[in-house]
Structure formats: C-alpha cells, structure tokens
Structure 1
Amino acid sequence: MQPKVYYIKANRFLLEDEERQGGFLKVEHGLFGDFINEAPPSATIIDWTGYTIAPGLFDTHIHGVNGYDIMDGTAEAVDTISKAILPFGVTRFLPTTLTASDEGIVKAIHAITEAVDKGLSGAKSEGIFLEGPYFTEKYKGAQNPIYFKNPSVTEFNEWQKLAKGTIVKIAIAPERENAIEFIREIGRDVVVGIAHTDASFECCKEAVDAGARKFIHLFNGMSGLHHREPGVVGAALVDSRAYAELICDGFHVHPEVATMALKLKKDKLVLITDCMRAGLMPDGNYLLGEFPVVMKDGIAKTESGSLAGSTLTLIEGVLNLQAWSQEPLYRVWHRGSLSPAASIGKADQFGSIEKGKVADYVVLDSELTVRAVAVEGVLKYERDL
C-alpha cells in the first residue's frame, strides 16, 4: 500500500517556469508539497533516479480510443477510454460527444455520469464536453449535418440536469440564430467554444465579447485566415482573451503553422488529441458517430475525404510540437497540462507541479517514454521493463 506521505527523488522535474535538476519533491495526502535538497532521515523515498517527473497531461477534447467511443453510450466505453489513455501520461480528460440525435446525446450523457459515479479505472473525468449540435454545414467536418440546429438554452439546461451539472464545455457556431444570446447566458458557468463555423472575424469578436472563451481545433472546421477577412482563424490568433486548441499530429496542421500558433497564443494554446475510436488500433474501417471512417497509415478520414478526428496520443502531440518549435520541453509540456486546466478554470487545482495542487504526475525515461503515472499521488500505471 502506497504511503500517504512520501518524497520523489528524480534527476529532473518539469516546473512551470524552469526545469529543476535533482532534489526531493514531497507528496502529502495526494497533493504536491515542498521541494527540498535533502529528505528527512525517516522519510519514505520513491526513487526515480535517472528519470524526469512531469505533471499529468489533460486531454480536454477526446472522443474515443482503443476501439471505443463516447457515443457508444455505455459506461464500459467511458471507462475503457479512461484506462487506455493513462499509460500515455493523461491523468485528466473531458469525455467528448459528437453531433447526434437528442436520444444519442442523452444516452452518451447517461453513460458518462454512470461511469464517473462508479469510479473510473484510469484518468479522471473533469466533466463533459458537448461538441455540437449547434454547428453550420460549410465546415461540418465529420459532424452529421442532419442534426444541426440553433442553440437553445432550454435544451442545454435539460442536458445539464441529466449530467448532474457536469457539462463544463460546449462548442457552437456563433453565426447561428440565437447564438450570441446563448453564449451570454451559458457562458457564465460553462466554457463556450467556437467550432465548425463559417463566422466572420466580427462575429467571432462579438462571440468572445459575449463570453466565448475557446476556439476548437484551430485551423480545422473553421473559416481560414485572409488578409482582408481574418475569419475565425484570425480571431483565434489575435484575441488574447480566448484559448485555442491545437492537434499536433502533423496532418491537421503543418508543423510551421503549429509553431506559429504557439508563438502567438503562448500559454493560451491548448494541446488536444480529438482522438477517435481508431486510436491505438490497426489501420482499417471504423465509425465516428454514424459516419464510416477509413484509417490508413494512422490517418482517419470519412468517405468524402475529410479528416475524421485523429489517432494521436497527447504525449505525441506534446513531443511533436517541442521538436517542431525547439522550445524547452517544460514550456511545451504545460500546453498539454496547465493550459488545458486553465482553459476550464481549474489551473489552481492541477496541471503543474506546485505546492498544494493535486499530485498527478508522469515519470519519463531518457527517451521521454512514459515509465509510470500517478493520479492524486497514487501510482496507477507502471510499465514493465
């Protein structure tokens, strides 16, 4: 049984503003404590000499993995996703829905709440992300347009009641009828993101003024940047009030453009996977919602050729962006841990190694491969050597 109080010894710690070499990090009752140079004589030491300790990653946009999808509408699917992402350093996630019928959305909400109430086996859920159904068709991606409709506060409140208040994020197209009023009402308590939209730059600014605080999978599912009409991309890049998600698999966004986004958005950049059920699976035929998807060479596409989510792991996205940008690892790592937490108002609870925060951490070897993962100070995964 793991002790309630112990000290982690390691070669390197990825902190918010630096990489600390050596020392001992106290973990006390599931929270990070002080750094000290020498541990007390009677202390329990967890010895990770030769390794790096990083904060747990947080995937705020993930539909599925390992053959399962949130829209399967079963508690088993939610728990399997939770377990599958833990060995890749993810300690928190937002189970993410797709545009679907009302029955399909309700079924997914019930499944998530049931799984969370039972207790997830791996990463912890920090709430539900509703991606849709309030989108527009031009940039529909792999969202099913037959279910698109205008935002409704009444409908959302019904979903929120079913979810026991755990919906923390919703994505909408701000040009839809009633969208700005919806943002003003819902955005007080829930993170409203902009996605699958052909909105103008001015419309996006109005949406952010109204309370929208996130742009979903930047550059994908939105009007692009033009020097006379900055569009959704332009609004996302220049508005310092809003966070922007980024998929760093090298397919959704060119590496140089991803690096540009990091330079412009800084700590408002949130790395995500947007992973679907084909993640960690072999090439072949899959479903994303109701759409057939073919995965070849790790790239998932619909029959029409649209990208259908990704098969990325979040740690791959972090390491890709670090390699592309040549920024220090600690700085890019926090775009996958601290920025996601901050984007839903929970940066004071987790996302970085800081005294008083939840002790979610990842043990990395010299090749930056995950060796072990702890959630709230308890070791939940350790790779066999």
Structure 2
Amino acid sequence: MPNDYVLYGRHVFTGNALLNNQSIHIQNGIINNIEPFDDAHSPQQIFDYISPAFIDAQIYGANELLLSAFPNSKSIWALQTHCKQWGTLHFLPTIATNTKEIMYAGIDAVKQYWREGGKGCLGLHLEGPWINKEKRGAHIESIVHSPTITEVEELLAYGKGVIKMITLAPEVCNETIIEIIKQAGIIISAGHSNASFEEATHAFNNGIPTVTHLYNAMSPLSHRAPGMVGATFLHPTVYASIIPDGYHVHFEAVKIACKQMPNRLFAITDAVTTTHTGPYQHTLNGNKYESNGILSGSALTMHQAFKNLVNRVNINITDALAMCSTIPAKVLKLDDEIGYIKKNYKANIIMLNSELNIISCLD
C-alpha cells in the first residue's frame, strides 16, 4: 500500500461515535485527517464499517504453541499471525501461575520477539501466581502463594519494560507489594480472588484499576455478601475484562454486566490452544477447550467476541467495538496512540462488511 492513501467508510467508529460517510486520510501509517465524503460522488470502494483494530489483553497461545509450554519468540509470532487474522493487531501474551523459570523465559521470549522486529505484542500479562488458592480454578495449587518483597522486586527488575499487567488477588498481597508493582508502572488487575466486597472496594480505591475475567474465579455477588463482583459493579471507575463466549459466562450475565458497567467493561479471549505438554493441557471440543472433560479454556477470537456481543448479548455495534478496541486501549494506558480513529493516531484499523466479517486490516 502507498505511503499516502485514503479509506472510505459507510460507517466509521472513531472510538467516540459512529459516523456516516467518512474518509480517513493516512500518511506514513499515521491518520492525518478525517472528513465526510459526498455520497453522490462516492469512490469506487467503500467499506461498510471501519474501526480501530481489536486489542486482546489476555491470550495464552495459538497454533498449538501455548506460551507457558513453549516460552520462546516462535510462540509469540504464532500469536501475532493468529490475532491479525481476526482483526487483533495488539495483544498481551499471558502466562498463568507458573514457576519462576517459566515466567523469566516468557520475559525473554518477548524481548527476543521485539528484537526480531515484532510489534503486535504489547508486553507480558502474568496471571498469578500471587492469587487465592480458593479461587485458583485450573491454576497449579502448589505454585500459588503470597509474594515476598524480594521476589517481587527481582521479578520486576528482570521484566522491566516487558511485564505490562499482573493479575493478583489483593487479599493475599499486602499494600507494600501493591505499591511496589504500581510504582513500576505495571497495571494490576484483581482476579482469582476471594476478596470480600469491602476488601475489593478498598483495593480499587487504593489504585487497582481493573478486574480479570469478571464472574470467573472470584467471590460472587450474593444478597448478603456482594463479593468482588458486586464491588466491581458499584465502583465508579474500576474496569473489568469479560469472556463473552457463552461458556465462561452466560450471555445474559454478560448483558447484566454491560448494563451495570457502561464504558468500564471490555472483552478478552482468554484463549488457549491444543496442548499436550506441561501442566496446562487443552483439547478442543467444539467451540471450547477441555482438560479431562472439564472446561479449561476459550477458543474465542476477538472478532467472534465482537460478533457475540452484537448478536448474542444484543448491544449496539458502537458499544461492542469500544469493548474490543477503545476500552482495552484505555486500560492499557495506550489510548493516546491506538484505540481511536483520530488525527495523529496510528492507522491500526480494521474494515468490515455489512455482516460484520473482517475484510482487511492495517497495521
């Protein structure tokens, strides 16, 4: 594609609104103007929908290369190829509760991927091991623990510039630990947690900005114990990710969360891949992954997440696109360069047809 070109969209989602009949002028990969075009003299190619590209803040592997089983740059390149096919141009490869050796190897893998010219991976998401054993789900119980200051400082020093997000249970990490992670510029997400409503609210008020896979692996909403779910619903600023695949979360429960958390809920895939080695083994069964007959992971793509939000959760296209692009950009503190179609932003853009299928993407 030339350095200077124009895209035309019947409907363009800017990150703030859905605008009709807009032309997007791009130069050297940067958006330099957006303006209406005359429908009476329309250009030859007009895309039905144009949107900021999708962003996946939690994905474990693709093409039978689970990152924790194969912690090398090849696994991350496989993720990039897989994600781009489905409109996701930025992603956080994720490692669930694991040994120090695997986590450090994952950090090395991201560094190597970047040295090789990769640009889709935004960094690493560590989900655990500093979580609550009671809400560990499929995580390895023997490795789950509360961290020491030394352990945290050593990991953050080794992963400086690579670790982007850490999912932890706030009730098993003291406030000194939380502050050390925050000061390192890493996004803390509360998850795999049995925190009470009061503990969760306190954590949110003290700087934990988001929650990992709402409903799953956390203290539930009950009439006498609102739990982390209730605290997330009621807090004015905390964000939460959710897995809209119909298996991890019932679509009606997704709908409830959307109504409770407008502009604070975003989609993730939490996707795994077929794996026959290591402690996290997954076998594809229809549209989900299982281990010994038990749900063990998602087979979701961000494109399917978006379509599920529109067709199964019945939210409007604007809100669904925001949940897959603009809101995760805000959560990852990257909304000054991606997540919007806006002047001086990167032209990370996807084009869709009237059936909401992806035609092509720009990165």
TM-score, with length taken from structure 2: 0.93
Alignment of 1:257-276 (within 5 A): 257-276=253-272
Evaluate the alpha carbon distance shift between residue 156 and residue 289 of structure 1 in structure 2; reply closer, same or farther with a 3 A threshold.
farther
Distance 1:249 1:46, change over 3 A: farther
Matches of 2:287 and 2:201, distance apart in 1: 36
Is 1:369 the equivalent of 2:357?
A: yes
Partner of 1:119: 117
Please list every run of 5 or more consecutive structure 2 residues that lacks an aligned counterpart in the other structure.
none
* Cα drift, residue 160 of structure 1: 2.8
2:307 is aligned to 319
Aligned to 2:106: 108
Match of 1:202 among 198, 204, 226: 198
C-alpha displacement at 1:228, in angstroms? 0.8
Deviation at 1:287, TM superposition (A): 4.4
Give 1:47 deviation, angstroms: 5.8
Alignment correspondent of 2:62: 65
Give secondary structure in 2 for the equivalent of 1:13: strand
Displacement after TM superposition at 1:46 (Å): 9.2
Q: Does 1:354 align with 2:342?
A: yes
Separation in structure 1 between the aligned mates of residue 45 and residue 213 of structure 2, nearest angstrom: 36
- Do 2:239 and 2:265's aligned partners in 1 also have CA atoms closer than 8 Å? yes
Alignment of 1:142-291 (within 5 A): 142-176=138-172, 178-188=173-183, 189-278=185-274, 286-287=275-276, 290-291=279-280
Per the alignment, do residues 25 and 161 of structure 1 end up closer, same or farther by CA in structure 2, a change over 3 Å counting? same
What is the CA distance between 1:157 and its match in structure 2? 3.0
Partner secondary structure for residue 74 of structure 2: helix
The 2-side partners of 1:356 and 1:223 are apart by: 42
3-state SS of 2:328 partner: helix
Gaps of at least 5 residues in structure 1 are: 40-44, 279-285, 376-385
Structure 2 partner of 1:383: none
Q: Which residue of 2 aligns with 1:77?
A: 75
The one-character-per-residue Cα deviations of 1:38-62 (angstroms, maximum 9, x if unpaired) are: 59xxxxx996424321110000011
Aligned to 1:53: 50
Shift of 1:88: 0.3
Per-residue CA deviations over 1:176-211 (Å, capped at 9, x if unaligned) read 1x4332112212321111111111111112211222
- 1:141·1:308 contact (CA, 8 Å) conserved in 2? no
Contact 2:272 2:282 in 1 (8 A): no
Matched, 1:294 2:289: no
1:241-288 CA deviation, whole Å, 9 max, x = no partner? 21100000011111111011111111111100000113xxxxxxx348
C-alpha contact 1:67 1:277 (8 A) present in aligned 2: yes
1:18 deviation in Å?
Answer: 2.8
How many residues get paired? 358
Give the equivalent residue in structure 1 for 2:33.
34
AA aligned to 1:75 is S
**Structure 2 residue matching 1:138: 3-state secondary structure:** helix
